[in-house]
Amino acid sequence: MTKISLGAHPYLLGFEELERLMERTAKSAGDGYPPYNIEQTSQHSYRITLAVAGFSEDDLSITLEEKSLVVRGRQRDEPEERVFLHRGIAARQFQRSFVLADGVEIEGAAIENGLLHIDLARKPPQSVVQTIRIQRGDRKKESEA
């Protein structure tokens, strides 16, 4: 079976970057930690919620790197005098990336009850109509001479 490339389809011009973006996103899916939800809160807004129990605001960072929203978590080292008989609560660092489409902006973030909420909004695209002037072939040749 032949793999059809988006960049090679004759009706999809200039979408090579989209194909590379999909491949990069598939590779960076990670191990599933921390778990997250993505919900559409209105026609043009979204909310990403990550389960970050045990992390404080100071342990988390949210950055926009090119077209990617990157959430990182790193807890401070605990004092060594603590002795655990069982340690089932994950205390590991993480990095979770989300690729944002053009026009999607971060509106804000809040942490509540161990959940980090990141609100996003997409600006409705403006309808653009452009008329292209058609020149006669012989005029182009005259201007080149």
- Beta bridge pairs of residue 45: 42, 121
pLDDT tens digit sequence for 58-115: 999 999 998 899 999 998 777 678 888 998 876 789 999 998 988 899 999 999 999 9
Cite the DSSP H helix spans in the chain: 16-27, 137-144
At residue 57, the 3 state secondary structure works out as helix
Instruction: Give the CA diameter of the chain.
Output: 88
- Which residues, 6 or more positions from 103, have their beta carbon under 8 angstroms from its beta carbon? 122, 123, 125
Task: Kindly report whether the peptide bond that precedes residue 79 is cis, defined as omega within 30 degrees of 0.
Answer: no
Q: Write down all domains in the chain, each with its CATH number in brackets.
A: 1-30 (no CATH), 32-125 (2.60.40.790)
Give the angle subtended at the CA of 64 by the CAs of 60 and 68, to the nearest 5°: 105
pLDDT tens digit sequence for 24-51: 666 656 678 899 999 999 999 999 999 9
pTM surpassing 0.75?
no
For the sheet with 68-73, list strands across it.
Answer: 60-65, 68-73, 94-99
Residue located via tokens 């045990």: 54
Of residues 17 and 92, which shows the higher confidence score?
92
Q: How confident is the model at residue 77, as a pLDDT?
A: 72
> Of 111, 72, 114, 112, which is closest to residue 93 (Cα–Cα)?
72
